[in-house]
Structure 1
C-alpha cells in the first residue's frame, strides 16, 4: 500500500457530552491554541446525552481561530442535504473557510426512525448518499435547483449562500459499494480504528484506489483520515505506550499504509496536550525522515500554536544592526510579559491555596479579576495602557493601535498580527474557563467525588491557561521583536 506523500494533519474527536458542555468547548479551544488541525464531532441526533452537532460546531467556531471544524460523520437520514449544505456554507462563511463535511449513509436505524427519519435498506442508503453529494455540491456552486432523484429533488431551489471555500466532503465507508462511491466522489475517506483496524486498511484502500482510477481520478486526491483511540501508558498495543511509541505507530500508518490525517478520540486536556506537544512533532519528524528528507517538507511546515504557514515568511534581522534606542522598544515588551508571567505564578499559588483549603473561592476570584491579565485589554493591552499611552498619547490597546500600525508598515506581518489578535480572544476564553472552574467549587469543594472533580477541573483549567499564555507570550516576543525595533509604535 503506497505512501501518497500528503502532508500530515492531526485533530481531536471529543465526545459531545451535554453534561460537560463547558469542557467540550474548552477542549476545542485548547486544540486550537496547541496548533492541531481539526476538531471533529460525531452526529447522533437521537442520542439524548449528546449536544446537537451543528450548534456545537458553531459555538466552537466562534471560540477558535485556526482549527478546522468537521462532522464525523453527519447523519444524512436526519439532515436533508439542502439544509445540511446551507448549514455548512453558513458556518464556513462565519469561520473564514474552516469547515469540512463528513457524511455517513446512516446507522442505528431504530434511533433514526424514532427521531422522524426514514428507514432505508443498505442499497437505498448508499444511493441517497450519492444523490446528497450531488445536491450539496450544486448548492455550494450556486447552481439553480434542477436535480430530480429517487430520494431528493431540488427543482426550483434558489441556492445560497456560497461557502467561503470549496468544502471537502469525507465519507465514512467500509463496505464495497460505499468504498466505490468514495473513490468516485469524495475528497476524504474516514474509517475508524474501532471498525477497521490497521490490518484491514490495505485491502480497503486498494479498493478505494481502484474505484478512483476507474472514475478517472488519482488515488492521492482522496485524503485518508483515520479516527484513532488509545491511552498513554506502558502497554505494547496500538496507541497504548508512550509518546514515542505513538509517533512510531503513526509513522507506520502514514508511510506504510497511506493514512495522513489522524483524529484522536480524547476528552481529557492532558491527553490532548501530550498528543499535540509530544506525539505530533515527533511523528512529523519521523515521517519526513522516512520519506527521505530528514526534515519536515518545506511545503508542509509544522504549525506552531495554530499559526498558518505564512507567518514563518517574516524574516528576522541581525540584532547587532539595531541601535540601543530601537532595542528598548521590544525590551519593554519583554518586561511587560515578565509581569504577566509573575501574575501567572500568583494565580498558581492562589489555586494551590484553594485546593489546600487555605483560601476561599471568593477571595481567589477577587485576586484574579484584579490582575492585568484578567482585564479586557490584557497582555499587550497592558503594554499599550501603561507604556504606549505615555509614549504616544493615543494608543488604547494593541488591536486598535500597535497592530494596525505594524501591518501598515509591513503588510507581511498581517498573519502574525491576526494570530496574536485571535490568541488574545482564546486566552480570554481560557481565563473565563478558570473563573468557571472556581465557581464550580462553590458548595462542592471537599465534598466527596463531586468536590474532587471540581478541584481537578480547576487544575485542568489552570494548566490550559498556563500552556496557552506562556506559549503566546514567547511567540509574541519572538515575532514582534524586529518589527517593533524597526517600526516602533507609529
Structure 2
C-alpha cells in the first residue's frame, strides 16, 4: 500500500446534547479543543443514544456559535427526506454556516423507528437503491446543476437549488455491506466504515465485523469502487483510557460481551483505541498506514479526555 499522507482530523458526535445551551457549549468547546467537525445523529426514537435534536436545524444554531468548526450529519436516513428537499436544506445550511456543512447520509436501518412512525421498512435492496439514486440527485443539485433525473424511485424534471453552494458540500456515506461500500466508493467524498446492518433492522454486534481482516476487506471494496478517486476513510470510535493498554482492552472486551479472553482481538480492532493518549496516537498512525483511516469521530462523552490525542497528531 502507498504511504498515506492525508492529515488526521477528528469530529465530535454531540449525541448527549438535549438542549440548545448544551449543544452550543459542546460546539464551542469542540472548536477550542481542535476538533474539525461537530456532528449530529438522525433519530426520533431513543435508539440507545437518548433523545436527539433535529440535526439540520440544530447544526444551523451551532454554526452561529462557532467560526471554523465544520458541521455534519452522522448520518441522515435517506428515507426520512426527499432528496430535493434535503438538497434545499443542505444548501441553506451550507450558506448560513459559511460553507462549513458536510452531508452524511445512509440508507436508513433502524426498523423500530420506521415502525413507530408508520413508514414502510422496505427490503434492504430497495432502501439501498433509493439511496444511490438520491446521491446522484443531491450531488447534481448541490453542484449547481439544472437537474433532471428519472430512476426507479425518483423523477426530477429541470430543478435547480437555491442558494447554490460556492463548492459542493462534502458527502459522507455510512456503509457496512458490500453494496453500500461500493456506493460510498462511487459517490462519496468520505466513506464511513460501519458494521453491517442486519435485515431485522439492527446493527450487527458480531466481533467478526470489527476484526482487521473484515475491515481491510471493506476498505478494499470502497477503493475498488472508487477507481482511483481519493475517498477519505472515516470511522466512529469509542476510546478506552487506562495506563495499561492490555487491561483497557480486556475491560472493553468484557463490557461488549466478548469476554476478557478477547483482549488481544480488541487491541487489534481498527475501531478500538485503548490505553494512554500516546498509545492511541501510535495506534492511529499504524492504522493510517495499514488501512488508510484519517477521520475519526468521538462521542461527546469522551471529547475532553480524547483531546490530547489530537494535540499529539496535530
Asked whether the two chains share a fold, i.e. TM above 0.5, the reply is yes
Does structure 1 conserve the Cα–Cα contact (< 8 Å) formed by 2:143 and 2:167?
no
Q: Distance in 1 between matches of 2:110 and 2:125?
A: 15
Max Rg structure: 1
Does structure 2 conserve the Cα–Cα contact (< 8 Å) formed by 1:92 and 1:163?
yes
Does structure 1 conserve the Cα–Cα contact (< 8 Å) formed by 2:16 and 2:300?
no
Q: Which 4+ stretches in 1 moved above 4 angstroms?
A: 192-196
Matched, 1:91 2:114: no
Does structure 1 conserve the Cα–Cα contact (< 8 Å) formed by 2:193 and 2:218?
no
Q: 1:66 aligns with which of 65, 68, 88?
A: 68
Q: 1:229 aligns with which of 217, 222, 238?
A: 238
CA RMSD, Structure 1 to Structure 2 (Å): 2.1
- Alpha carbons of 1:46 and 1:82: their partners in 2 closer, same or farther (altered >3 Å)? farther
Aligned-partner SS, 1:181:
helix
Question: Structure 1 residue 31: deviation in Å?
Answer: 0.8
Aligned length: 274
Partner of 1:34: 33
Q: Distance in 2 between matches of 1:12 and 1:30?
A: 10
Deviations 1:239-290 (A, max 9, x none): 33211111111112212221011111122xxx423422x21122x2xxxxxx
Aligned-partner SS, 2:193:
coil
Partner of 2:5: 5
Partner of 2:278: 244
Q: 1:205 aligns with which of 203, 208, 219?
A: 219
Q: Determine which structure has the larger helix proportion and give its number.
A: 1
Matched, 1:15 2:45: no
Q: 1:49 aligns with which of 46, 51, 70?
A: 51
- Unaligned stretches of 5+ in structure 1? 285-301, 303-490
Q: Distance in 1 between matches of 2:86 and 2:283?
A: 36
Partner of 1:315: none
Aligned-partner SS, 1:170:
strand
With the length of structure 2 as denominator, give the TM-score of the two structures.
Answer: 0.80
Question: Structure 1 residue 142: deviation in Å?
Answer: 2.9
Question: Structure 1 residue 174: deviation in Å?
Answer: 1.2
1:292-331 to 2 correspondences below 5 Å = 302=314
Q: Distance in 1 between matches of 2:117 and 2:226?
A: 35
Partner of 1:367: none
Question: Structure 1 residue 89: deviation in Å?
Answer: 0.9
Q: Determine which structure has the larger strand proportion and give its number.
A: 2
Q: Distance in 1 between matches of 2:115 and 2:152?
A: 19
Q: Distance in 2 between matches of 1:116 and 1:141?
A: 34
Q: 2:287 aligns with which of 240, 253, 261?
A: 253
Partner of 1:280: 310
Tell me which of the two structures has the higher relative contact order, counting C-alpha pairs closer than 8 angstroms and 6 or more residues apart. Answer: 2
Aligned-partner SS, 2:233:
strand
Q: Distance in 2 between matches of 1:16 and 1:89?
A: 26
Aligned-partner SS, 2:275:
coil
Q: Distance in 2 between matches of 1:235 and 1:43?
A: 36
With the length of structure 1 as denominator, give the TM-score of the two structures.
Answer: 0.53
Partner of 2:299: 265
Q: Distance in 2 between matches of 1:255 and 1:25?
A: 35
